[in-house]
Structure 1
Amino acid sequence: MATNVGDFFIGSNSVYNITDEDYQKINLLINSAKAFARSTHQCVYIIDYFKQNFLYVSENLAYWCGRTSDKIKDFGYNFYLNYVPENEQKMLLEINKKGFDLFNEIPITERLDYTISYDFHIVQGRKSRLVNHHLTPMVLTQDGRIWLALCTIAMSARNTPGYIIMKKDNSKSYYEYSLEKHKWVKQPGIALNETERDVLILSAQGYTMDDIADSLCKSVDTIKACKRALFAKMEVKNIAEALSYATNYKLL
């Protein structure tokens, strides 16, 4: 069980020899993260693995937690201890260790292309939200370790925590972590055809079944059949879960 911040910082994610001069060069990255946060519904924050804290926290994450963004930034990794249920803190610790173990096996030249995602609860008082969390490397050290990472949080379409995925950009295959077997398993992934992709995109834009059929010049029955095939392919139950799956696996 996670009992202190130090539990999250282990040999595999230790960073060394970052200078004050290095920090003077990252203002553009922080401003880019701020601009991204203003343009999206997702919560955004930056992890600094050298100082072992948060470098930036967007205001919408503060809204979810009932604290100011500056306060959550001060919390740093205590954010997880304060707002994640204790039984899921153990999961986050395992993801942290196993995720960095796998990341460090990836060729250094490819590491910036990978993202890890997983679901966990954020609890504020009586409110409990299941969120989907993405962590993407922003800056690596010369030996390929993550110095800064961009994290985003959005509502999950799932019902339970977990669903741990590490995926390379523009790759159909991905690594899925099994909490039962405690190991990564490489999965072949799936591909969407043009119609399936269009149906998902139009659904995300709020189009009705009739609207989608008209837009794609297809019958409503064809669109219904396409959705059924999509749900079966993704092993999901509804369009919200399908959209979440497509986003998490970068299919759109």
Structure 2
Amino acid sequence: MAIIEDFLISTKHIENISEEEYDKAKSLLVILDAIARTTYQSLYIIDYFRNDFLYVSENQLLLCGHTADEIKEMGFMFYIKHVPNEEQKMLVELNKSGFNFYERLPIEERMSYSISYDFHIISNKKKTLINHKLTPIALSKDNRIWLAVCVVSLSAHESPGHIEIRKQGQTSFWEYVLDNHKWIENSGIILTEKEKDILSLSARGYTMNDIADYLCVAIDTVKFYKRKLFQKLNVKNIAEAISFATNYKLL
């Protein structure tokens, strides 16, 4: 089992953050709260200077039976209380490796990267596989991550892990291999225009017949493209394909 200190490696060199800077950050909370009201996804802000959560949305996915204020009070203890022991170790490792990766980035690019990973949370003995996407929204004066926003959604996978760092606007990404404890560059997935059309129309509720009519193709052609899509994305159905494509910004 991890301990709280295992999650605090990111704060060692952050310069002091003034109360004035915290006052300026309050506008971010208002914006994030408005966004949270429009989505089922849970949102929260990690404060790496104070080692706690600056904001937690009321969305139920993350709360595990707690209120948002209770989770803010728990801070990183939330992970220890609601994440399986073996996956806590994974979170500690990706935390260390993620910040090591980040420290090597050019300063001017540091706000352009995000990290994504899957792990289980336990609520009332029920395990749910969720996806975390974390990206910095404020840096300290010494250009280290001060505040980061995390978007929590249901995972498109069936197992924990799938640790990836992506730069905005790039198809390629860096994948962390837990067995080798290192980052490996991946060229990424590129969808054809036809595959994008089928996913987009499916997301809008079109049936296969509807899609065939809209694209002026035979229904067997739609079935062929869907099979290829499932293979390419390594998913089992169109719902998982839409979730995967949305999560990884393939559309």
For Structure 1 versus Structure 2, the TM-score category normalised by the shorter chain is: over 0.9
Give the deviation of 1:164 after TM superposition.
0.6
Q: Which amino acid aligns with 2:89?
A: K
Q: Distance in 2 between matches of 1:88 and 1:209?
A: 39
- Answer whether contact 1:136 1:151 (CA < 8 A) is retained: yes
- Answer whether contact 1:167 1:249 (CA < 8 A) is retained: no
Q: Distance in 2 between matches of 1:224 and 1:62?
A: 33
Q: Distance in 1 between matches of 2:62 and 2:132?
A: 17
Q: Which amino acid aligns with 1:93?
A: V
TM-score norm. by structure 1 comes to 0.94
Q: Where does 1:1-252 land on structure 2 (aligned, <5 Å)?
A: 1-3=1-3, 5-10=4-9, 14-61=13-60, 64-252=63-251
1:158-199 Cα offsets, whole Å, 9 max, x none, are 111011110011101000011111110000112112211121
Give the deviation of 1:219 after TM superposition.
1.8
Q: Which amino acid aligns with 1:207?
A: Y
1:185-244 Cα offsets, whole Å, 9 max, x none, are 000112112211121122222322112222222221111111122122223332233223
Q: How many corresponding residue pairs?
A: 251
Counterpart secondary structure, 1:119: strand
Counterpart secondary structure, 1:180: coil
Q: What is the root-mean-square deviation of aligned Cα atoms in Å?
A: 1.6
Change in Cα spacing, 1:63 to 1:94, as seen in structure 2 (3 Å) is closer
TM-score norm. by structure 2 comes to 0.95
- Answer whether contact 2:49 2:146 (CA < 8 A) is retained: yes
1:46-93 Cα offsets, whole Å, 9 max, x none, are 000011100010111477410111000101111101111111100000
Q: Distance in 1 between matches of 2:237 and 2:9?
A: 39
Q: Distance in 2 between matches of 1:63 and 1:248?
A: 17
- Answer whether contact 1:13 1:100 (CA < 8 A) is retained: no
Q: Distance in 2 between matches of 1:63 and 1:99?
A: 22
Q: Distance in 2 between matches of 1:24 and 1:234?
A: 43
Q: Which amino acid aligns with 1:199?
A: I
Q: Which runs of 5+ in 1 are unaligned?
A: none
Q: Distance in 2 between matches of 1:42 and 1:78?
A: 21
1:80-109 Cα offsets, whole Å, 9 max, x none, are 011111111000001100011111111111
Q: Distance in 2 between matches of 1:117 and 1:13?
A: 23
Change in Cα spacing, 1:13 to 1:169, as seen in structure 2 (3 Å) is farther
Q: Distance in 1 between matches of 2:236 and 2:144?
A: 38
- Answer whether contact 2:41 2:61 (CA < 8 A) is retained: no
- 50-59 or 197-206, which moves further after superposition? 197-206
